[in-house]
């Protein structure tokens, strides 16, 4: 009987929990025993610690990254019919949040070297209806598009999609708002859905708080905020308590991810092309992605050896059915090429030495076999 292949999943929230279980479970118990499950001290403490860690003046805990994007767009006063520049490579929510408000996402191509909004194409995509831009710091990379875009168009409102970028560094994101996701597989992941809106001033913080709580103001009356009624988008005390523990270890975990990425990339140099800046791994390495002409075949060969991988993302946003007739679609050849080739491979802080070796050897085998195999 042959031994089962070593399993190295792409994501492992359970392994992350196990690495810090006593502290996380103590925090969860504290929240559970408090009887206060929404809008209490755990949320307050986490928001303060998060703002500090991200280098923004204010953070508002919310129920998901999707809600964080929607609330930020409402708070800046986006209106139905407005257009919003969005990079053509991202998770659907980046465009979905714009669509939910009755506004139109405008597809902007990504750079040839990295799947980040291309500044020149963003400028070509500008038009009279464009009110805002949402640069996405995909895979925890620095999208960097904000300063030059704002320089060229001072009236343009910017929301940084930082859903994948917690721990990437305090300088990320120059917009008016930042949106974070704490989906369990994120580098800062909650035991459930969660997110946060980062704000620059107290007025914006108040707008977001109120929009996330039915427009309720200091007198208890419910009012529209920037024309929006808002709703319920609050972060739970349980998630906030666990997230605060995870935040403490974020810098060390990010450093470990960078080291692992550097090892994998170094070992595969000349064989595989990784999606990284020229200097190597930076930021939180939310996903270690590579480009290969046959990502599905590579995925299958890795799976046969127990190595998890996934297409991030198999199609550009402009190809999503929900955008047809609802977005300003523009040619995005770099985005299309990226989506044809991208595959994310395991690079987690909790991987053992043997896991890393197994991923490296499996990638070498798979890459070499595909280089020889007929298509
Ligand atoms: C780039 C990006 N934007 C937005 C989101 C939405 O976050 P959530 O899943 O927490 O709603 C995600 C998360 O998957 C994401 O990766």
Selection from 294, 342, 340 nearest residue 319 by Cα: 340
pLDDT in tens, 292-320: 999 999 999 999 999 999 999 999 999 99
CATH code of 15-247, in short, is: 3.40.640.10
Selection from 157, 209, 194, 178 nearest residue 51 by Cα: 178
Grade residue 148 by pLDDT with cuts at 50, 70 and 90: confident
| Amino acid 145: pLDDT | 73
Cα–Cα distance list, 256 to 284, 294, 317 (Å): 9, 29, 31
Lowest mean pLDDT among 53-57, 109-113, 151-155, 356-360: 151-155
Average of pLDDT values for 152-176? 92
Helix (H, G, I), strand (E, B) or coil at 138: helix
Lowest mean pLDDT among 12-21, 83-92, 147-156, 181-190: 147-156
Q: How far is the CA of 163 from the centre of ligand 1 (A)?
A: 5
Q: How far is the CA of 65 from the centre of ligand 1 (A)?
A: 5
Q: In 81-154, which ranges are E strands?
A: 83-87, 104-108, 130-133
Q: How far is the CA of 193 from the centre of ligand 1 (A)?
A: 10
Helix (H, G, I), strand (E, B) or coil at 126: coil
Q: How far is the CA of 260 from the centre of ligand 1 (A)?
A: 24
Q: In the chain, which ranges are E strands?
A: 58-62, 83-87, 104-108, 130-133, 157-161, 177-181, 195-199, 273-274, 288-291, 342-345
Grade residue 171 by pLDDT with cuts at 50, 70 and 90: confident
Judge whether residue 159 has pLDDT over 90: yes
Please list the helix, strand and coil fractions of the chain in percent, rounded to the nearest 5, in that order. 40, 15, 40
d(CA 320, CA 25): 40
Judge whether residue 3 has pLDDT over 80: no
Average of pLDDT values for 203-215? 98
Q: Are 68 and 62 in contact (CB under 8 A)?
A: yes
Q: How far is the CA of 58 from the centre of ligand 1 (A)?
A: 20
Q: Which atom of ligand 1 sits closest to the CA of residue 97?
A: 4
Average of pLDDT values for 359-363? 98
Q: Which atom of ligand 1 sits closest to the CA of residue 67?
A: 11
d(CA 233, CA 64): 8
Lowest mean pLDDT among 17-21, 153-157, 167-171: 167-171
Judge whether residue 277 has pLDDT over 70: yes
Q: Which atom of ligand 1 sits closest to the CA of residue 193?
A: 10
CATH number 3.90.1150.10 is the correct assignment for the domain at 249-372: yes
Q: Which atom of ligand 1 sits closest to the CA of residue 64?
A: 10
| Amino acid 4: pLDDT | 62
Q: Whose CA is nearest to atom 12 of ligand 1?
A: 163
Residues with CB under 6 A from ligand 1: 64-66, 90-91, 93-94, 136, 161, 163-164, 181, 183, 193, 195
Q: What is the mean pLDDT of the chain?
A: 95
Q: In 230-286, which ranges are E strands?
A: 273-274
Q: Tell which wins on pLDDT, 264 or 174.
A: 264
Q: How far is the CA of 169 from the centre of ligand 1 (A)?
A: 18
Q: Ligand 1 pocket test: pick from 63, 68, 183 the residue with the most ligand atoms within 8 Å of its Cβ.
A: 183
> Domain coordinates of the chain in residue numbers?
15-247, 249-372
Q: How far is the CA of 93 from the centre of ligand 1 (A)?
A: 6
């Amino acid at each position: 009987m042959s031994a089962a292949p070593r399993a190295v999943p792409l994501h492992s929230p359970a392994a992350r929990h196990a690495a810090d279980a006593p502290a996380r479970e103590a925090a969860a118990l504290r929240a559970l025993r408090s009887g206060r499950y929404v809008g209490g001290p755990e949320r307050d403490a986490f928001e303060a610690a998060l703002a500090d860690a991200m280098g923004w003046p204010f953070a508002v805990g919310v129920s998901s990254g999707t809600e964080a994007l929607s609330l930020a767009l409402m708070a800046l006063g986006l209106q139905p019919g407005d257009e919003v520049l969005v990079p053509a490579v991202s998770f659907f929510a980046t465009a979905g949040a714009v669509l939910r408000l009755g506004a139109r996402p405008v597809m902007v191509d990504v750079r040839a070297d990295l799947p980040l909004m291309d500044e020149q194409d963003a400028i070509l995509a500008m038009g009279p209806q464009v009110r805002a831009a949402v640069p996405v710091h995909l895979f925890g990379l620095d999208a960097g598009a904000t300063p030059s875009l704002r320089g060229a168009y001072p009236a343009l409102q910017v929301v940084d999609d930082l859903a994948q970028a917690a721990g990437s560094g305090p300088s990320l994101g120059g917009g008016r708002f930042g949106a974070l996701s704490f989906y369990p597989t994120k580098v800062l992941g909650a035991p459930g859905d969660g997110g946060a809106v980062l704000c620059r001033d107290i007025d914006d913080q108040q707008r977001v708080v109120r929009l996330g709580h039915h427009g309720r103001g200091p007198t208890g009356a419910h009012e529209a905020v920037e024309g929006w009624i808002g709703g319920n988008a609050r972060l739970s005390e349980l998630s906030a308590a666990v997230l605060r523990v995870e935040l403490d270890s974020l810098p060390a975990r990010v450093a470990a991810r960078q080291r692992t990425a550097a090892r994998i990339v170094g070992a595969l140099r000349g064989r595989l092309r990784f999606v990284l800046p020229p200097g190597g791994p930076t930021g939180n390495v939310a996903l270690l992605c590579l480009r290969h002409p046959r990502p599905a075949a590579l995925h299958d060969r890795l799976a046969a050896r127990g190595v998890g991988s996934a297409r991030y993302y198999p199609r550009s946003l402009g190809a999503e059915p929900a955008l047809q007739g609802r977005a300003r679609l523009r040619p995005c050849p770099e985005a299309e090429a990226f989506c044809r080739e991208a595959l994310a491979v395991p690079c987690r802080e909790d991987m053992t030495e043997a896991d890393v070796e197994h991923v490296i050897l499996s990638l070498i085998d798979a890459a070499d076999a595909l280089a020889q195999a007929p298509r």
